[in-house]
Each structure stands twice: as C-alpha cells, then as structure tokens.
Structure 1
Amino acid sequence: MKIGILALQGAFIEHEEIVRKLGATVIEIRQLSDLEEDIDGIILPGGESTAQGKLLKELGLLQVLKEIIQSGLPVMGVCAGLILLAEKLSNDTKQHLGTLPIKVKRNAYGRQLGSFSSQSIVKDIGTVPMTFIRAPYIEEVAPIVEVLAKVDEKIVGVCFQNQIGLSFHPELTNSFKVHHYFIELCKKNSLKNL
C-alpha cells in the first residue's frame, strides 16, 4: 500500500509515522509530479486551510487532486483537510477542492484556547480518542453523506463514497484505529480496481 500525504504545510509528519507503523509506504505530495506516483489513497492533514489551498493552487495541484478524488481515490481530510474537501464553508466564501457535499464552519470551537480532547464512537471503528485544535465542525450534510461521529451533538466525522472527513486529529493520539480503517478502505478500493 502506498499512501500519499499532502506535505505542503501542517501536521503531516505525525500521519507519516502512523502510516509507516501500519506497514504502508508513504509518498509525500509536494509537487505535481508526486501525484504521478501510483498511490492507493491520500491524507490531507491538519494545518492552515487557507495556506494549503493557496499552495495547492500555486503548485498546480488543486485541479489534478480534485479530479483524482472525484475518480474514486480514497482520501482522508483531517481538520484543515476537511475544510479543503468541503463543498461549502459557512463562514468563508472560498471553496478549495469542493468534492465532499457538506457545509463546514471553520474554527468553530474558537481559537487555540478552545482546543480540547474527547472520546467518542466512530461508526465502523469504535471508541476513539479525539483531539480538537481550532477545529471546524460540520453544520450540514447532503442526504448521500454518512455521519460517522458526533461530539456534543455536532458532526465531527463523515464519509461519502471514498472520502472521509474529520474535524479531529487522529494522528495526535496513541490510537491508530482511524488510520487502520482508512488503509483498509484503500486496500478494498485497490482490489476492486484490479
């Protein structure tokens, strides 16, 4: 399994470490030629969504990445990555990839001081520790989107086709359950395409 990890900005190294521990190969996505690698899935990490979106555009990655995701490549967007995937943002006019039919509220839990940890059930995965840092939450989902997790009645995890969107940071905990689930999704998708 080869997992691409967007490595332009943000917390990508933590994802890389977990993916390697789970036995998959990591491909850092920094430029257009990196997307020519034969990857089985891609992780869009947390960080600063505005900076990541700007870099994706400047480096010519935005449209190509959008097309790859729309063609079925599994993707997991975490925090800023969720914002990049969202079709709509309730408190911003920007749209980045726009492949996930949801509406997201950026920095919904406030600034850094509003960061917190929780534990909650994620559908098909079980109870997982969740770390929220200046996190968004999902305000609306299209009927075709499956809600995977809620915390305090707010949607913090969704799945649509091969796209997983999370408000929280699974890479900042000692649980590998979410990454394992994503890698299994990549394996199933890869077998389906053989």
Structure 2
Amino acid sequence: MPRTDAPRVGVLALQGDVREHVRALLAVGAHAVEVRRASDLDGVDGLVLPGGESTTIGRLLRVFDLLEPLRGAIVDGLPVFGSCAGMILLARDVLDGRPDQPLLGGLDVVVRRNAFGRQVDSFEAELDLAGVAGGPVRAVFIRAPWVEKVGDEVEVLGRVGDRTVAVRQDNVLATAFHPELTGDTRMHELFVDIVESAKPWKKTVEGMGRDR
C-alpha cells in the first residue's frame, strides 16, 4: 500500500509493458495510474513510457491527442522514464526509424532503433549503473536501441561494451533495456526519487495548464 504522500506516477497505457511497470511502481511505494488521455495527466507527478513498439505508440499518441500535451509537459519539467521504446520516443533524433515517426523529446540524444538486432538477437546482461546501488542490474534487451550520440547535458549511466544503454538528463531517465521484466525494482526506485525531488512541476495539459 503506497503511503498517503507517495508520488502519483502515470504509465502511458497505449501499448507495451504497461502492467509490468504498474506492478514495479506499486512495489516501490508509488501510486501508479494508467494514462490514455490528456486529462489523465492532471495530477500525475511523473510518467513512465513503457517498452513496446515505438512507431505504434507514436501513432497512438496522435490518435489520442496526447502528443502535444506530453511534449509540453516534458518541456515544463514533468519527470519521465522511458524503457526501450520509451527511450526512442524521448530522443531528439532517431536513426533507422520511420521518417514520419513522432518523438516527444526531452533527451538530447540520438538513438538507433533496433540497434542490437531483431527479436532472435534478444539477450540479458549484468550492468553496473551509475546512481544504482547494490551491485549489477540484470538487464533484458529485446530489439533494443542504443544511444549513438549524447549532448553535453546528458549523463551516461550505463554501457554494454562501448554502447550507451542508460542515460539521464535532468528529470528525464531512459534505458535501452526493460527493467520492468526482471523483478529488480531499483531503476523504478531511482525514478521515484527523481519524481520526489522534482515536485512541484508546472504542467501544460491541453486546455488546462496550471501550477501545483
């Protein structure tokens, strides 16, 4: 049971590993809610963009009129954590993506889509991550991206070989892997800490921006 003053963290629930992220957030004591419409952003202190299919999620962001409200909220400081497809959506540019693929931005990075290969090339690895105590994190990579370029304001948290797979910029956190699939909740704990440090933030939701 989350404590009464626990942060309220949304999970974008259009496609992908929604239930797994909700379960992990509840396990670390956050209030977890599903976000499908712009009005669902009202009252959330942070947002998770789950792993899934980045082009499908991008298309559904337009269908559900969430693309611009989310872009505005991220600009205004909404803490966001993207895993796999979520990392792609948060990038400023994507290599090997569709020309019309919508992006949310928030990270000054260039990401290569499906960089580690196809579904049959999925793998797991033990990663040491900056800011995550307790030893290596077991990371699951499924048709995963990697980060090709990082801007000056981006902190690299982890690598596989020489490939960057975890980054942070201010209130925005992203991993190329799926922490929601392992039962290890340390990445979600890190994100909740970011959320709690960032409150309050000024949100811009279509037609109902307000301070909190």
- Return the TM-score normalized by structure 2: 0.87
SS in 2 for 1:81: helix
Separation (CA, whole Å) in 2 of partners of 1:153 and 1:129: 18
TM-score by length of 1: 0.95
The amino acid across from 1:163 in the alignment is: V
Query: Cα distance, 1:155 vs. partner?
Result: 0.1
Q: Which of 159, 175, 184 is residue 150 of structure 1 equivalent to?
A: 159
Structure 1 residue runs of 4 or more that deviate by more than 2 Å after TM superposition: 92-95, 191-194
Aligned match for 1:45, one of 50, 57, 69: 50
Shift of 1:192: 8.2
Is the Cα–Cα contact under 8 Å of residues 8 and 32 in structure 2 kept in the other structure? Answer: yes
Question: Is 1:96–2:103 an aligned residue pair?
Answer: yes
1:174 to 160, 183, 196: 183
Per-residue displacement from partner, 1:84-136 (whole Å, max 9, x unpaired)?
Answer: 11100121233411221100000111111110000111101042110000000
CA separation in 2, counterparts of 1:42 and 1:12? Answer: 12
| Two-structure CA RMSD over aligned residues (Å) | 1.4
Amino acid corresponding to residue 153 of structure 1 in structure 2: D
Percentage of identical aligned residues:
41
How big is the shift at 1:175?
1.0
CA distance in 2, matches of 1:91, 1:118: 24
1:125 is aligned to 132
CA distance in 2, matches of 1:110, 1:120: 19
Q: How many residue pairs get matched?
A: 193
Distance 1:191 1:64 in 2: 18
SS at match of 1:148: strand
CA distance, structure 2, for counterparts of residue 184 and residue 129 of structure 1: 20
**Structure with greater proportional strand content:** 1
Contact map agreement 1:89 1:95 (CA 8 A) in 2: no
Unaligned runs of 5+ in 2: 1-6, 203-211
Segments of structure 1 that go 5 or more residues without pairing to the other structure are none
Q: Which residue of 2 is the match for residue 34 of structure 1?
A: 40
